[in-house]
Structure 1
Amino acid sequence: MGSFPTGPESCLADPSCHVYITSMRNAVPLTIFGFWGFVILSCFTFQFWKFLHSKRRKVEPVILRSAMASESVSTAVKHKKSSQLKGVEVILDMEGGKELQVTGYTGSFFGELCYLLCCFTSLHWLALDVVIIFDYYNKCQVRSVDNLCFYGNYFLLGNYELNGKVFFVVFWLQLIWFTAWVLFKGKVHNCFRLPTELSSAKVVSVWARDQEEILSTTDSFLINFLREIKTKFSSHTTEGHSFIIPIETTKRGRRQFVFQGQRFLIKGDSVQPVHFKVGETYSDYYEHVKGIHSNEADSRLEKIGPNEIPFKPDTLIESICDETFSLFHVYQLGAYMLAFWGSYLFVGALLATIVVLSASITIYTRRRNQFMISKITKYVTEVEVLRDGVWIKIDSRCLVPGDVVRLQRDWKLPCDLLIIKGSCICDESALTGESMPVQKYNAPIAKVPYNPQGNGARHTLFSGTTVIQSGSQTNDDVQAIVTATGMATSKGELLSGILYPQILVFKYDEELPVVVLFLIAYAIVCFIISIIFQNHTGSQSIWVTKWMYCMFSVNQILNPLLPVALEVGQLHAVNNLKKRGILCLNPKRIAIAGKIRVFCFDKTGTLTKEGLDFLGVQCSLVDSGIPTFGPLVSPAKVESLSPLVTHGLATCHAVAKFGEEYVGNQVEILKQRENCLLRSRCSLLLGGS
C-alpha cells in the first residue's frame, strides 16, 4: 500500500505551470458569456417577433369533442371544476369522451436556428461539467484502491476557490435549464414555430385531455387536499399531453394527419376524423355486389389509408429522450455532478454507470417489446377481390370498404366483412376467446339497419378471426363485402385499447408525491441545520464547500438510486412475464397487478384454444360405495369400453363434414375413432400437445 496521497501542488504555486483562466475577464469566459447572451437575445427576439405575428394574425385552435366529452366539460365548467379550452369548438362522432385541441404551426429559418441553439446549449452544459471536473482532478494521484485522488492542480482556473465558484454557478444554471426543458418536453420545438391557420400549417400540435380513472378507495386528508390544490391551480395543459404530428399531403392534394391510429382530414381551417361507411342497411351493401372501380378504390385508399394497424416503434432518439427527460433524472444529474466534483470521483462514476446501464436496459426492453408488438400487428395476405368486374389478386393492405372479396378456406381475415353470398364456419377464439366454431350466413336483402356488434354479428366476419370452412362444398363460391379496414376494424379497436390505454390512478400514484414532499421538507430542515453546525464549529472552509456538504445530506435523504431500484424490479418482472409469453408495454403497471387478490373468469375458451389432444378415457367405478376412477384407456383400445361409453364418445354435436374432412373443435373431430366428446359417466383427459 502506498502512502496517503497529498495531491499535486496548485498551479498558482508552481512556477512551471501556466494558468489559462485567472479572471472572468479572460477570453474564454467572455466567449462563453457572449454565447449565453447571443442565445438569450436570439430567443427573446424570436419570441417578440412571434408575439407580434400572433397579434397581427390571431389563430384560434380547433377543439374536437365528442358529444359525451362536451356534456362532461359543460358540467365541469358549471361547477367550476375544470378549465374550458378556448377555440373553435366542433362536436364530432369520436370514440368515448375524447377531447382534442388542434393548433397549426409553420417553421421559419430564424426559429429553427434558435431551436438548434437551445439544443447546442444543452450539450454545452455537459461540456462545461467535463471541463470543470477535468480541471479539478488534473494530475491527481491514484496509488491504490484505498489511496485515491481527491484533487488536482487546477491548471485552468488556478485554485480550488475559483473552480468551486464556477461549478456552483454552472450547477444551478444547468439544473434550471434542464428542469425547464423537462417541464416543457414536447413543446420546446413548437416554441420556435409560428402559429398559423391549418390551411398553411406544416405540423399540428394535438393536445389530448387525459382520460383518467382514479381507483383509489381509501383517501386520506392529504390526498384530498392535494387534489384540491391540483384542481385549483392547474391549467388545462396539465390535464393532458401534447403531440407534435407532421401533416401529410397525398398525391391528390389531400392534407391529413394520423393521431393514435385515427386519421384526421384538414379541409381549409377545419378538422374532421376520417370515417367511411358503405351503407346503413343491408340493402345498401347489396348495391355494391358488383365491386367497385379501380379509380374509386384508389380514392378511398388515399382517404382512409392502407388496411393495416398504423403502429410504429419509437425511434432510438425518441426512446432515449422519453426515458431520460424526467425531473428525477435531472436530480440525478445534479447529485452525481456534485459527487464528481466533491472528491467522490470513483463513487460518482460507479453510481452514474449504474444509472446509465439501468436506463439503457429499460430503453432496450421497451424497444424490444415495441418491435414485437409491431410484428404481431403486421399481417399481410393475398386477397381475391372484384375490381372493374374482374376477379384479381391484390395485397390485403390495398383493401378498402366496399370491395367484394372471395373467401378462402383456412384464411385469417385481414378486415371486417359482411357475407353477401354463401355461408362459412369461423373460428373467433382469437377475438372472443370462445373456442367453439361459429357458423356465419349471408345477410338478408332488406332495409334493416346493419349493426355488426348486434343483430348483424351472425353475418359479419371480424378481422383477426379465421375462416375454417368456406361453403358447404369444396367448390362453393362464398363472397363478402369489406365493411371496415385498419384501426376501424374490431381487431383495430381491441389493439387501440392496448396501445393507447386509459390512465389509471392508483393509491400508490397519489401517495408517492406526498412521501416525496415530506422528504423534501425534511431535507430542507437538515440542510439548514448542517449550515448552522458548520458555522458554529469554526469551519474555515469556503461557502462552496459548506454548501456541498449540505447538499450531500440532501442526497442521502432523497436517494438518487431510488428510481433505479424500482426499474430493476420492473425489468425483472418484464423478463419473467416474457418467458411465459406475456408482453408488457407499460412495466409500471406490473407492481399494481401484484396487488390483485381475486381473478374472475367468465370462460375458458382462450385457455383451451390451441394444443389439445385426446389422451383417453377414465371410467368412474363404484368401489365399496366410494366413486373412483378406473385406469386410463387409450383411443387405440376403445373396443374394451362398454357400448354405453362408446356411444357417448361418438356423440359430437359441433363437428361438420367438409368434403372428406371434418371441421370443428379440435377435441371433437372424429379421426379413426379418436378425439370424440365424452357424454357419459367418463371423464375426458386433455393434455397440451
Structure 2
Amino acid sequence: MNSFRETNGYQSIEINNLQEIYNEAQDQLVFKIWGFRENPTKSTLYHFLSIIFLGLPYLIFSSYPKLKKVKFKPAALDFATTILVCDNHGNSNFIKIENEKLTLPNVNVALENLRYFLYQHTKYVWDSNSNTFVTLDNVIPSQTVDEYLNNTDGLTDREYRSRLDLFGFNKIEVEVKSYWTLFVQEVLNPFYIFQAFSVGLWLVDDYISYAICVIILTLFSSITSLIQTRRQSEALHDLVESSKCHEVTVLRKEGQINEKKIIDPVELVPGDLIVLPASNYVMPCDAVLLTGQSIVNESVLTGESVPVTKTALHSSSESYDIEAHKRHTLFSGTHVIQTRYYGDEDVLARVVRTGFDTTKGSLVKSILFPVPIGLKFYKDSFKFILVLFAVAAAGMTYCLYLYISRGAPLKHVIIRTLDVITIVVPPALPAAMAVGTVYSQNRLKKIGIFCISPPRINVCGKIKIACFDKTGTLTHDGLEMNAIIPSKNSEFCPVVTEISTLDNEDKLVQGMATCHSLTRIDNEINGDPLDLNMFEFTRWELHEPGENENERYDMLAPTYVKPHGTHIKDTSKLPYEIGIIRQFTFSSTLQCMSVICRDLRETNMIAFTKGAPEKLFGMCLRETLPTDFTIKLSQYTAQGFRVIALAYKHLPNKLKWVEAQKIKRNVIECDLTFLGFLIMHNPLKEETAPVIKTLHNANIRTVMITGDNILTAISVAHDCGMVKISDQLFILTLENKEDPHGIPDLKFERASGNLPTDSVTVDFSLDHHHFAIDGRTWSKLKYYYPDMIPSLLVKATIFARFQPDQKTQLIMFLQNLDYIVSMVGDGANDCGALKAAHVGVSLSQAEASVAAPFTSSIPNISCLVHLILEGRCALVTSFAIFKYMALYSLIQFCTVLILYKEHSIMGDYQFLFIDLIITTSLAVTIGRQGPSNELGSKRPMSSLVSAKNLIPLILQIFTCAFIQVATIYYLFQQPWFRPIPSNTIEPVVVSWENTSVFTISCYQYIILATMYSKGRPYRQMLITNFWFLVTALSLTIFTTWLIVYPCKYVADLMNLVYIPHGRRVENYFKYSLLGFPIVHFLVALLIEVGISDREWLKKFIQFVSCKSMPKNRYKLLLQQNGYQSLINVDG
C-alpha cells in the first residue's frame, strides 16, 4: 500500500487500482477512484444494444452511472484511461483521464506528460513519483514567508505559459444552460419518461382529450420548472459575476527588469505579481500582500460588512499558509476599498490561487455541489414510491386474471393491465412535494431571510440544537466603554470612568489611541467596533496624511493620532503626535494585536499590544503584573464585561523604520510592561433572551460558541437564559499536577455565583447542569480524552475562546451525535461553522452572500425562530401533499379496479376532472397554509414509513376502499338496478356503477385534502387558508350538483347517467348517496384527530415493538449518563 500526503491537507492512499482521497482537516473520506480501460468488445455490444432498444440502455446508464462498469475492465491507475469516482454520499460518475504535453520549471513532479482529470471543477494531476493523483496545490512547491517577501520579480513569459497550461484560465464560471438543454434533461427524468409512456397508452386507449390536456399541463409544468431552474442559475451566475473586475496590472519579467502589463483577469496564474490600484477594486484571485496595506470589504464571502485591514506579510521563516496568514491575504471577489503605501511605491500582491481553487471558488462549488442533506423524508419518499409500484404490480396481476378469465382480446388485456400502473404512481408526485418549500421560501424572502439552498428549509423543521456566536449575534456589535483600570508599579489603580482624569501622555492613553486597525474611508473612521469604541473614548484624532506630509517619521508618513484640539503656540516645537509605524493585525490564534509607534518628539519607537488578558499575562514581565490580576479579571468577566488587557515596551533607540518593517512579531510581543484593563460592556440584544426562552420551550437545546473569555460567556449565558440561575454550571479544565509531560487530569470547577470554586464531584445523572469548555481545553480533550468528548458534548453549553477551525470541528462533532445542528453567526469568524451546520444562518445586510445557506437581514437571532416555524410548516406540508397524492392515486386505483370487475371504466372527462381540477387545485392550495405563530415542543416526523405515520395512512386507505365497495353494494340492493351483462366485451362508460363510484370518489379527494390541511401545531388554522377553502367548497358544491341533479349537457360530458326530474326512485337513490361522504368525513376525522395525533398511538407502537433504547446517539448518551456513577475528580 502506497501513501502520499498532499500539502493542502488531503491524504491519498493507493491500493492497486483504487485510490482514496481524504480531507485530513475534517478527518473524513472525500471520494474513491478506481482505474478502468474501455473493453472494445463490451463497448461495441453496449452501443449495439442501445440502438436496438431505442436508447433505453443510454438512459438507464445516465441515471445509474455505476452500471457503466460493464463497458470497462479494471486497470492500474497509471495505465487507466477512465476513472470511476464514488463520493462518500453514494454518488458515482465515470470521468475520462486527459493527457497533455507539458514542461513546467520549478515544480515537484515530472510533468512532461500531464495526466489529469477534472472532478467538480477541481483538477487532479497524476504524480508519477507517488503513483497517485494529487491536487494542483501539490504541484507548486510551498514557499516560506521570507521567500515570498524576497522575490519581487514577476513571471517570465515561459513560466507564465507553462503555468497557464497547468492551472488553466482564472475563471469561476457558473454555467447557465440553454432552455433547450434544460428541457432535454427534464424530459429524460424517469418521471417524465413514465409520463410519456402513460400518455402513449392513453392515446391508444382513446383517452384523447385527457392525453392532450396532460401533455399541455406537462409542458406548462416543465416550462415553469425550466424557468425556475434557469432563474436560480442566473441568480448564482450574477452573484459570481457581480464580484469581478475587468482588468488587472501585472509585473512581467522582461530580461532583468519588471514591466507593467494590463491584462484580462482570466489570464492570471498562481505566481503572478499584481499591482493593486489605489481604491475601488474587486480582487480577481486569492493573493498574498507583499507591500503596503489594504482596506477590504469581505461581505460577499463572510457576510461581515465591517471593513477589514489587510497588511503585508511580516518576515518569517515559516511556510505560508492561506488560512494562518488570512490577515495578509486578499481573497477573490472581495472589494478592495483602499490601498496604501508610502510615497509612489506600488502595492504588490502575489497570486496564490485562481479560479475554482480560490476561497470564493470553493464557496461556489459548495453551492453547485451541495452535500446531500440526508433528511429521512427524502429517502422514505422513494421507498414509498417503490411500495406504490408493488401495489400497481398486484393490481396488474388482478387485471390479468380478470380479463384473461373473461376471454378478452389481447389488446384489451395489455391496455387495461398497463393502465393500472399509470394510475397508482402519479407522475406529478415530485413536483407536488416541492410546493410547500416554494411557498415557505417566498414567505421567508418577504421578511428578509434569503435562501440559496431551498431543500434545507425542510431541515429547519428538525433542528435539535441551536448554536450561536456571542458578539454581534447574542449581543450587540458595538461595545460600550465602561471603565479603565490602570496599573502602576504592579498595582491596580482606582477605576477610571472619564478619560479626562488621565494625562494625554499616559502610556495607557497612548496605547488606546494607537493600538487598533482603524482607517478613514470617505473621511469617516471605520473598523472593528471594539477598536472604534476604544478610540472614541480617548477623544483623540486620527489622521492619514497625503503625499505632502512625507517629511516626518524617517521620511515616510504613516497614519498618526493626536489629542483633540491640540494647538502649538510655539511653532519651533514639534507637535504632540504619535505615528503608527507598523501594525501586527489581530490574530484569532494569538488573540492579540500589536502596533509599533513613535512620538514625533521622541527618537525611539514604542510598541503597544492589546488582547485577551490570559494571553497578555504570559507576554508581560512578571514584575509588572499586579498580584490580583486573575481575581480582578474574574470579577469583571463574571459580571459579563468584556475585558481587554493593554501593555507596552520601549524598542531600542537604534531601531529605524526599515528595521521596524522587518522585525518579527514574537520579538515585539514579549517582555511587555502591563498597563491595565479596558472594561467594556457588550449588552444583550433585546430579542436574545425571549428567543432563547422560546427555543427551550420548544425542546431545542441552545449552545454558545464564542472567541470571548469563558467567564464573560458564562455571564452572558446566565443573562440570556441559556443557563438558568438554578442550574449547576461546571468549568472543565485539564491540568498537569505532577508530571508536566504526563496525561493531564480532568478538573471540574463549579461556577457558583458566577465564579469558579474548588474542584468538585460531578454527577452526570443531574438533569439541570451544564459544562463550559475553552478552546485550550478542547484541544487537550481531543488529544488525551477523545472517548469522553461525546458524553461531555451532550451537557456542554458554553464553548469559549474557540478559534474558527475549532468552531467547525465542534459543529461536526455535534452532527456525529445525530443532532440536527443550526449555527447563527455574523459571518466574520464563523464561515466554516456556518457551512458545516445543517442550517447555517449569517446575520448580514448583504443579500448576495455565499457565507451560509441562509442570510438574514433581521439583525438578531429571532430569524432562527422564523426559520424553524417555516421549516416545520414546509416539512408537514410536504408530508401532507405526499400522503394526499399517494392516497389520490390509491383511491383512483380502487375505483378503476371496482369498475373493471363490473365491466365498466372511467370516462375521459372523469379522469380530467379528478386529475386536473380536483387533485391539482387542492394540492397547490394545501401548500399556501402558513406556519404556526407558536413554536411547540414537539418536532414533526421526518419518516414517511414510520409506524406512527403508516397506521393512520393505511386506515385512511381502507376507509376509502370500504366506502367505495359499500357504495357499489348499496347500488346492487336497489330493486330497479340492472347490472352490465357479464358477456360484455367492450367496457361500458355510462353506467350506474360508474356514476355511483365516480361521484363518491370525488368527495373522497376533497375529504382527504381537508384532513391533510389541519393546522396546529405546525401550521395556521385551516380557516386562514382562504384559497383552499374556496377551492374545496366550490368542488364540494359542484360534486353535489353532479350527484343530485346535473343538467343533461354536463351529465353527458362527464359520462354520468342522466335522470329526468320525474323519476323519483332513482333520484332518491342519488340523494341517499350523500350519506356515504358524510360517514367518510366523520371516520377520516376520527382517524386524524383521535388516532394519528394522539400520544397513546406512539406509546402503543413502542410497547408492541419493544423499543427501549433511543436511536439517536445523543439521546442514548443522555440515557447512559443518567445511570452513570459519580465521576470523582481530584481537586
- Above 0.5 in TM-score? yes
Could you tell me how far apart the structure 2 residues matched to 1:197 and 1:514 are?
Answer: 37
Q: Structure 2 residue aligned with 1:342, among 200, 205, 208?
A: 205
Rate the CA distance shift 1:89–1:562 in 2: closer, same or farther, 3 A: closer
SS of alignment partner, residue 122 of structure 1: coil
Percent identity reads 25
Rate the CA distance shift 1:443–1:182 in 2: closer, same or farther, 3 A: closer
Could you tell me how far apart the structure 2 residues matched to 1:198 and 1:402 are?
Answer: 30
Q: Deviations over 1:628-658 (max 9, x none)?
A: xxxxxxxxxxxxxxxxxxxxxxx99989565
CA deviation after TM superposition for structure 1 residue 590, in Å: 4.5
Q: Deviations over 1:93-129 (max 9, x none)?
A: 8885222425466798996897488368537xxxxxx
After TM superposition, the structure 1 stretch with the greater mean CA deviation from structure 2, 244-253 or 275-284, is 244-253
Amino acid at match of 1:308: K
Residue 432 (structure 1) aligns with: 302
Amino acid at match of 2:31: E
Residue 381 (structure 1) aligns with: 246
CA contact (8 A) 2:18 2:34 kept: no
CA deviation after TM superposition for structure 1 residue 183, in Å: 4.8
Could you tell me how far apart the structure 2 residues matched to 1:660 and 1:528 are?
Answer: 79
CA contact (8 A) 1:63 1:90 kept: no
Q: Deviations over 1:356-393 (max 9, x none)?
A: 33223323322332233234334243222221112222
Amino acid at match of 1:362: S
Could you tell me how far apart the structure 2 residues matched to 1:318 and 1:196 are?
Answer: 34
SS of alignment partner, residue 118 of structure 2: strand
SS of alignment partner, residue 467 of structure 1: strand
Could you tell me how far apart the structure 2 residues matched to 1:112 and 1:582 are?
Answer: 53
TM-score (norm 2): 0.37
* Residue 417 (str. 1) matches residue 349 (str. 2): no
Amino acid at match of 1:566: M
Residue 97 (structure 1) aligns with: 29
Aligned pairs for 1:169-184 within 5 A: 180=60, 183-184=63-64
Q: Structure 1 residue aligned with 2:87, among 210, 214, 225?
A: 210
Q: Deviations over 1:590-615 (max 9, x none)?
A: 5445655986553797999xxxxxxx
Provide the alpha-carbon RMSD of the alignment.
5.1
* Residue 555 (str. 1) matches residue 419 (str. 2): no
Q: Structure 2 residue aligned with 1:565, among 432, 453, 461?
A: 432
Residue 391 (structure 1) aligns with: 260
Rate the CA distance shift 1:372–1:665 in 2: closer, same or farther, 3 A: same
Gaps in structure 2 of 5+ consecutive residues: 104-112, 476-512, 537-680, 687-843, 846-856, 858-1131
Could you tell me how far apart the structure 2 residues matched to 1:420 and 1:501 are?
Answer: 35
Residue 526 (structure 2) aligns with: 664
Could you tell me how far apart the structure 1 residues matched to 2:390 and 2:52 are?
Answer: 35
Residue 545 (structure 1) aligns with: 412
CA contact (8 A) 1:534 1:546 kept: yes
Could you tell me how far apart the structure 2 residues matched to 1:487 and 1:553 are?
Answer: 49
Amino acid at match of 1:465: T
After TM superposition, the structure 1 stretch with the greater mean CA deviation from structure 2, 565-574 or 549-558, is 565-574
CA contact (8 A) 2:287 2:330 kept: yes
Residue 389 (structure 2) aligns with: 520
Could you tell me how far apart the structure 2 residues matched to 1:544 and 1:415 are?
Answer: 66
Q: Deviations over 1:476-497 (max 9, x none)?
A: 5322222222222222222222
CA contact (8 A) 1:405 1:482 kept: yes
Could you tell me how far apart the structure 2 residues matched to 1:363 and 1:660 are?
Answer: 45
Residue 258 (structure 1) aligns with: 118
* Residue 324 (str. 1) matches residue 187 (str. 2): yes
Higher relative contact order (CA 8 A, sep 6+): 1
Amino acid at match of 2:232: N
Aligned pairs for 1:406-485 within 5 A: 406-408=275-277, 409-454=279-324, 456-471=325-340, 475=344, 477-485=346-354
* Residue 489 (str. 1) matches residue 489 (str. 2): no
Rate the CA distance shift 1:111–1:100 in 2: closer, same or farther, 3 A: same
Residue 990 (structure 2) aligns with: none
* Residue 354 (str. 1) matches residue 242 (str. 2): no
Q: Deviations over 1:234-253 (max 9, x none)?
A: xxxxx331144573647877
Amino acid at match of 1:97: L
CA contact (8 A) 2:281 2:335 kept: yes
Could you tell me how far apart the structure 2 residues matched to 1:185 and 1:386 are?
Answer: 46
Rate the CA distance shift 1:662–1:567 in 2: closer, same or farther, 3 A: closer
CA deviation after TM superposition for structure 1 residue 346, in Å: 1.3
Rate the CA distance shift 1:187–1:381 in 2: closer, same or farther, 3 A: farther
Amino acid at match of 1:415: C
Could you tell me how far apart the structure 2 residues matched to 1:597 and 1:199 are?
Answer: 47
Please tell me whether Structure 1 or Structure 2 has the larger radius of gyration of its CA atoms. 2
CA deviation after TM superposition for structure 1 residue 588, in Å: 4.6
Rate the CA distance shift 1:401–1:655 in 2: closer, same or farther, 3 A: closer
Q: Structure 1 residue aligned with 2:148, among 264, 267, 285?
A: 285
Rate the CA distance shift 1:296–1:412 in 2: closer, same or farther, 3 A: same
Could you tell me how far apart the structure 2 residues matched to 1:179 and 1:655 are?
Answer: 59
CA deviation after TM superposition for structure 1 residue 659, in Å: 9.3
Could you tell me how far apart the structure 1 residues matched to 2:200 and 2:169 are?
Answer: 50
Residue 136 (structure 2) aligns with: 274
CA contact (8 A) 1:384 1:405 kept: yes
Amino acid at match of 1:437: P
Residue 402 (structure 1) aligns with: 271
CA deviation after TM superposition for structure 1 residue 296, in Å: 1.0
SS of alignment partner, residue 54 of structure 2: helix
- How many residues get paired? 485
CA contact (8 A) 1:381 1:395 kept: yes
Could you tell me how far apart the structure 1 residues matched to 2:436 and 2:265 are?
Answer: 42
CA contact (8 A) 1:64 1:90 kept: no
Residue 87 (structure 1) aligns with: 17
SS of alignment partner, residue 522 of structure 1: helix
SS of alignment partner, residue 207 of structure 1: strand
Residue 122 (structure 1) aligns with: 54
SS of alignment partner, residue 146 of structure 2: helix
Rate the CA distance shift 1:256–1:605 in 2: closer, same or farther, 3 A: farther
CA deviation after TM superposition for structure 1 residue 448, in Å: 1.9
Q: Deviations over 1:327-364 (max 9, x none)?
A: 33333233222212112121122123322332233233
CA contact (8 A) 1:430 1:606 kept: no
SS of alignment partner, residue 320 of structure 2: coil
Could you tell me how far apart the structure 2 residues matched to 1:94 and 1:468 are?
Answer: 35
SS of alignment partner, residue 421 of structure 1: coil
SS of alignment partner, residue 363 of structure 2: helix
Amino acid at match of 1:528: T
Could you tell me how far apart the structure 2 residues matched to 1:250 and 1:584 are?
Answer: 44
CA contact (8 A) 1:417 1:483 kept: yes
CA deviation after TM superposition for structure 1 residue 447, in Å: 0.7
Could you tell me how far apart the structure 1 residues matched to 2:43 and 2:384 are?
Answer: 41
Rate the CA distance shift 1:653–1:441 in 2: closer, same or farther, 3 A: closer
Could you tell me how far apart the structure 2 residues matched to 1:367 and 1:243 are?
Answer: 26
Amino acid at match of 2:165: E
Rate the CA distance shift 1:541–1:116 in 2: closer, same or farther, 3 A: closer
TM-score (norm 1): 0.57
Gaps in structure 1 of 5+ consecutive residues: 1-61, 74-84, 124-175, 213-238, 609-650, 671-678
Could you tell me how far apart the structure 1 residues matched to 2:425 and 2:93 are?
Answer: 30
CA contact (8 A) 1:64 1:91 kept: no
Residue 622 (structure 1) aligns with: none
